[in-house]
Amino acid sequence: MARKILLEHANVPGIKTYEVYRKVGGYASVEKAIKSMTPDEVVEEVKTSGLRGRGGAGFPTGMKWSFIDKKSGKPRHLVCNADESEPGTFKDRYLMEYIPHLLIEGMITSSYALGCNLSYIYIRGEYMWVYRILENAIKEAYAAGWLGKNILGSGFDLDLHVHCGAGAYICGEETALIESLEGKRGNPRIKPPFPAVSGLWTNPTVVNNVESIAAVPWIVNNTGAEYAKIGIGRSTGTKLISASGHVKNPGVYEIDLGLSVYEFMNSDEYLGGMMDDRPLKALIPGGSSVPVLPAHLIYKTAEGEDRLMSYESLSEGGFATGSMLGSGGFIVYNDTSCMVRNTWNFSRFYHHESCGQCSPCREGTGWMEKVLHRIENGHGREEDIDLLWDIQRKIEGNTICPLGDAAAWPVAAAIRHFRDEFEYHVRFPEKIKNRDHFVAEPFEKVKHLVAKEVI
Amino acid sequence: MEISHAKQVINIDAKLTERINELLSHYPADKKKSAMLPVLHEVQDAHDNWLSIELMDRVAEILEVQPIEVYEVASFYTMFNQKPVGKYMFEFCRTSCCAIRGAEDLMDYTCSKLGIKEGETTPDGNFSVVGVECLGACGYAPMLQLGDYYKEHLTKEKIDALIDECRDNKVNLH
Amino acid sequence: MKVTIDGQEIDVEPGTTILQAARMIGGESVPPAMCYYSKLKGSGGKCRCCLVEVSKGSEADPRPMPKLMASCVTGVMDGMEVKSISSERVVDARKSVTEFLLINHPLDCPVCDQAGECDLQNLSFKNGSSKTRFIEEKRTFEPENIGPNIQLHMNRCILCYRCVMTADQLTDSRVHGVVNRGDHSQISTCISKAIDNEFSGNMIDVCPVGALTDKTFRFKQRVWFNKPYNAHRDCDKCCGKTTLWMFGDEIQRVTARKDVYHEVEEFICNSCRFDHKDPKDWVIEGPRKFEKDSVINQNNYTRKLDTVVIETEKNILLGRDQDRKKISMPAIPLKKEEEQVFKEGKV
């Protein structure tokens, strides 16, 4: 069994309540930090741990903390990004639903490290029942003296509240999240200034993912050096992976970074192999925004090395033959799924979620969706495939926030690795009339129809 | 553009006012606008799950902002309805992870059972079926959101049972 | 601080943006700007037309910036080197953005009052392609009446947010804004409220396209048939310095004075703009000059023309039903009987 850091107590009965959580050693990190450490020492521990942001970008958390502007003397804020909306990702919800106090403990310790006296957890509005669980847990923490004025007699004050969104993927982008927390439309801000200098109400602000903050208590209790021992290379610690799609055991798993993709996919401790034992066709390892991997690049990199669940190994080969760990949304596709339909599905998602502020994303996402919809429904033209490639290329890198890139990458990767499927859709429209066209006749069986002619 | 001509009986009672004040207390006194999303949620829940212009105007008064600022926000977020919706709104996730596990078939099944198309409400105003984007339950697909709760690992039988429970008023929405 | 743009060096104050520095140099290197407006705080960064390549970050940190930067919101650093027209990437990005802005924009320049003074027209003249690759139907919006002075034509809007900022910064209460999201975002009051503030007319001047035009001038004249004059009057609300758009002895339109980047020099009040159309109200200073390639320099009219009446105006405005959906949450239409119930408010 792999070590559990975040989910260690997830199965303890009643762990949702303060009493049980406290009984298994909860809130120890707050005591340790406040009583025996300076805020800078806590930041140092997190730096040493090598913990990288678990929301998707993988930026070192300790480094992000050290950027917060302490000179201006303005109030500082820590905002927890619980707006988990990346398709394929549902790990934060699991943490908050089952061990709400772990996040609250992490928020207190982290707020202490950053010198914040007013912090927020921004949770997506659809998780309304989790919002209530957190509200309740925060009330318990206030009652037990972990929040409020003069915590543990140290003179450190902290108010923590939970704030709910209302259905907008874009609010997972940190500046859009801040706008939304200010009661506005979730339009990302233009950076610089970065939130660390001017964030919530123009005060210095740090925005961290739920999982990153939930790892802080363990790091403070056991030291950053211990945390850094887990994992592989610069991918330290454990990571929650949310697995979905055509696998036997979908769900949330905590793994040591560096586990091989093969073992994660096939061992009974984790996913237990493919559902109905059908062949594996494609994998998206880090949420819908990262490039899809075709079967031959999943277990081995292009160099022939074992593919591991780590930031480095998953991106081995760049976008040509690799992908990204992203948020850990592990989506598995078998041979019945259609990559064109799937790409259209994601394009619809990004079109729906574009905030509409900058022109490449506002116009480009809709255009891609329309072209993909045409191809998927048998009205594609041969030149549409190149057109799609060109549209995604023109969105990528030219937008205010990363949503443009996130919309472009899946399309690029699908064309790169599954171009023959697009050609099949264009050339044999009668064969793809039904949306489950590859269920009865997987693409493998008809692939020869679009094979390059050898003279 | 006119959002809605429909009228709504507005009733911001003592209990709701108390809750709104509690939410307002979470933000600095001069940042009332920050409470916009939580307040809109509460107000919408208390008013048949939709927001009329009049209701949004009241929220603007409470938050001390211009009405347009509330319209701008309410129209941006998918969870705020600016037209009346069915009492039981089945919001099916139809993004990839759910779609490959049969969400589309299940949505079609529900629609045909209720005799409506996606995006419509039954004539008695009881049911709406809407396709929405990823709800963060990918491993428990197919699923739908009903009120504040998720119904996961759905099958046709579970849909049948759920519709029956709704008809018998046995479903808790909030 | 020294900054080099396309090989031309200039000394600027700290806090200057790349775009401002480029405008000081002038010429071909000046990036186009559809959303940035120097007189409006917080504008810029949205249209992505002014992307430039920063090939050297600064003297202290000479690394190039990996992404193209929006020059209107990126401050210069000492020793920075910027490529605008000299970078293929930049030229390509400008073409891309132009294409994106045009895919849903109606090609109705022949009936658009903005034609001749339209930034999008200029942008596509320089960076556009003569062919379209967009074979889908264009997006349209339902028309909305926002009062007797300003004509809103949402289909032409490129969402620069300038009019929203104008309302925020010049008027005491904003009644219009951007509603809905994604490519269904639109400028609206939501309740067809008339925008009648003393300075609301400036929204027309800041609009880079024909989305907001002067209703009192609607279909009266092509701007290049007008003779523009600088004029002023004593006004207790604004500076009173305007441009009069004359046709013979008739003042057909009054606008603020715009510089070479089509930004107003000073904002004017609605009274000057809409209520003073008699030449006797004004002291005429002399002809207004425009940049040399502007079509307005034509000014070649010889005889009095009749007012143009466009029979299909209603259809031009109307658009299609199927487009009028809210993208974020589809509006669920009411049944006849429900409508009755909701109208009476007996839910």
pLDDT surpassing 60 at residue B3 = no
Name the residue facing A362 among C67, C93, C183 (closest C-beta).
C183
Is B166 flagged in the annotation as binding? no
Is B97 flagged in the annotation as binding? no
C264 domain residue, yes or no: yes
Domain check: are B20 and B41 in the same one?
Answer: yes
Is B79's CB within 8 Å of A126's CB?
yes
Q: Give the 3-state secondary structure of residue A331.
A: strand
Domain check: are C148 and C255 in the same one?
Answer: no
Is the separation of the CB atoms in C32 and C119 below 8 Å?
Answer: yes
Q: Which pLDDT value is given to residue A332? A: 97
pLDDT digits (tens, 9 = 90+) for C222-277: 898 888 999 999 999 999 999 999 988 899 999 999 999 999 999 999 999 999 99
Q: Which pLDDT value is given to residue C335? A: 72
| C339 pLDDT tier (thresholds 50, 70, 90) | confident
pLDDT surpassing 90 at residue C299 = no
Nearest CA in chain A to B101: A245
Query: Can you tell me the distance from the alpha carbon of B151 to that of B145, in angstroms, rounded to the nearest whole number?
Result: 6
pLDDT surpassing 60 at residue C104 = yes
- CA dihedral for A274, A277, A282, A288, sign (positive or negative): negative
Query: In whole numbers, what is the pLDDT of chain B averaged over residues?
Result: 94
| C319 pLDDT tier (thresholds 50, 70, 90) | low
User: What is the CATH classification number for the domain harbouring B160?
Assistant: 3.40.30.10
C171, C202, C219 - which closes a domain: C219
Percent pLDDT > 90 in chain B is 93
Q: Kindly state the tokens that stand for A185.
A: 């439309």
HSE at residue B132, side-chain half, CA atoms within 13 A, is 30
Closest by CA to C85, choosing from C44, C126, C117, C56, is C126
Q: Kindly state the tokens that stand for A291.
A: 């490039």
Domain check: are B94 and B72 in the same one?
Answer: no
Neighboring chain B residues of A185 at a CB cutoff of 8 Å: 72-73, 76
Question: What is the mean pLDDT of the segment spanning A87-105?
Answer: 96
Domain check: are B53 and B95 in the same one?
Answer: no
Neighboring chain C residues of A363 at a CB cutoff of 8 Å: 100-101, 103-104, 183
Q: Which pLDDT value is given to residue A39? A: 96
Residue C344 class from Cβ within 10 Å (0-12 exposed, 13-18 middle, 19+ buried)?
exposed
B6 domain residue, yes or no: no
- The domain containing residue B107 runs over which residues? 88-167
Is the separation of the CB atoms in A412 and A389 below 8 Å?
Answer: yes
Domain check: are B63 and B99 in the same one?
Answer: no
Is A84's CB within 8 Å of B136's CB?
yes
Closest by CA to A168, choosing from A385, A350, A435, is A350
Find the largest Cα–Cα distance for chain C: 71
Question: What is the mean pLDDT of the segment spanning A76-90?
Answer: 96
Query: Can you tell me the distance from the alpha carbon of C196 to that of C215, in angstroms, rounded to the nearest whole number?
Result: 13
Peptide bond into A193 cis (omega under 30): yes
B135 domain residue, yes or no: yes
Q: Which pLDDT value is given to residue C320? A: 67
Neighboring chain A residues of B33 at a CB cutoff of 8 Å: 182-184
B5 domain residue, yes or no: no
pLDDT surpassing 70 at residue C327 = no
Domain check: are C111 and C215 in the same one?
Answer: yes
Question: What is the mean pLDDT of the segment spanning A186-190?
Answer: 96
User: What is the CATH classification number for the domain harbouring B37?
Assistant: 1.10.10
Mutation pick from A90, A116, A126 vs chain B, by most beta carbons of B within 10 Å, is A126
Query: Can you tell me the distance from the alpha carbon of A318 to that of C104, in angstroms, rounded to the nearest whole number?
Result: 34
Domain check: are C95 and C120 in the same one?
Answer: no
Query: Can you tell me the distance from the alpha carbon of A168 to that of A355, in angstroms, rounded to the nearest whole number?
Result: 9
Domain check: are C130 and C197 in the same one?
Answer: yes
C135 CB-near residues (< 8 Å, 6+ apart): none
pLDDT surpassing 90 at residue C30 = yes
Mutation pick from B133, B145, B171 vs chain A, by most beta carbons of A within 10 Å, is B133
Domain check: are B52 and B120 in the same one?
Answer: no
Nearest CA in chain C to B79: C329
pLDDT digits (tens, 9 = 90+) for A342-386: 999 999 999 999 999 999 999 999 999 999 999 999 999 999 999
C219, C236, C259 - which closes a domain: C219
C342 domain residue, yes or no: no
Domain check: are C95 and C108 in the same one?
Answer: no
Interface of B to A at Cβ within 8 Å reads 26-28, 31, 33-38, 40-41, 63, 65, 69, 72-73, 76-80, 94-97, 99-101, 104, 132-141, 145, 148-150, 174
pTM over 0.90: yes
**DSSP designation for C273:** I
Domain check: are B64 and B127 in the same one?
Answer: no
C330 domain residue, yes or no: no
Query: In whole numbers, what is the pLDDT of chain C averaged over residues?
Result: 89
Question: What is the mean pLDDT of the segment spanning C61-73?
Answer: 95
C99, C132, C153 - which closes a domain: C99
- What are the Cα distances from residue A416, in Å, to A90, A411, A421, C155, C194? 28, 8, 11, 35, 52
Is B93 flagged in the annotation as binding? yes
pLDDT surpassing 60 at residue C347 = no
pLDDT digits (tens, 9 = 90+) for A253-305: 999 999 999 999 999 999 999 999 999 999 999 999 999 999 999 999 999 99
* Domains defined along chain A, listed by start: 18-229 (3.40.50.11540), 232-334 (3.10.20.600), 339-449 (1.20.1440.230)
Q: Give the 3-state secondary structure of residue C99.
A: helix
Please state the ipTM of this predicted complex.
0.95
Question: What is the mean pLDDT of the segment spanning C273-287?
Answer: 93
Closest by CA to B96, choosing from B32, B60, B141, is B141
Q: Which pLDDT value is given to residue C306? A: 65
Question: What is the mean pLDDT of the segment spanning A184-208?
Answer: 95
Query: In whole numbers, what is the pLDDT of chain A averaged over residues?
Result: 95
Is the separation of the CB atoms in A244 and A287 below 8 Å?
Answer: no
pLDDT digits (tens, 9 = 90+) for B37-81: 999 999 999 999 999 999 999 999 999 999 999 999 999 999 999
pLDDT digits (tens, 9 = 90+) for A397-433: 999 999 999 999 999 999 999 999 999 999 999 999 8
Query: Can you tell me the distance from the alpha carbon of B173 to that of C217, in angstroms, rounded to the nearest whole number?
Result: 54
Question: What is the mean pLDDT of the segment spanning A101-110?
Answer: 97
Query: Can you tell me the distance from the alpha carbon of A215 to that of A55, in angstroms, rounded to the nearest whole number?
Result: 13
pLDDT surpassing 70 at residue C161 = yes
Nearest CA in chain B to C144: B1
pLDDT surpassing 80 at residue A85 = yes
- In this complex, which chains have at least 3 CB pairs below 8 Å with chain B? A, C
Domain check: are B65 and B41 in the same one?
Answer: yes
B54, B76, B98 - which closes a domain: B76
Is B95's CB within 8 Å of A161's CB?
no
- The domain containing residue C245 runs over which residues? 223-307
Query: Can you tell me the distance from the alpha carbon of A97 to that of A106, in angstroms, rounded to the nearest whole number?
Result: 15
Neighboring chain C residues of A351 at a CB cutoff of 8 Å: 182-183, 327
C182 touches chain B (CB under 8 A): no
Percent pLDDT > 70 in chain B is 97
Query: Can you tell me the distance from the alpha carbon of A320 to that of A341, in angstroms, rounded to the nearest whole number?
Result: 22
B162 domain residue, yes or no: yes
B24 domain residue, yes or no: yes
C325 domain residue, yes or no: no
Q: State the total domains in chain C.
A: 3
pLDDT surpassing 80 at residue C328 = no
pLDDT digits (tens, 9 = 90+) for C35-53: 999 999 999 999 999 999 9
Mutation pick from C164, C181, C329 vs chain B, by most beta carbons of B within 10 Å, is C329
B7 domain residue, yes or no: no
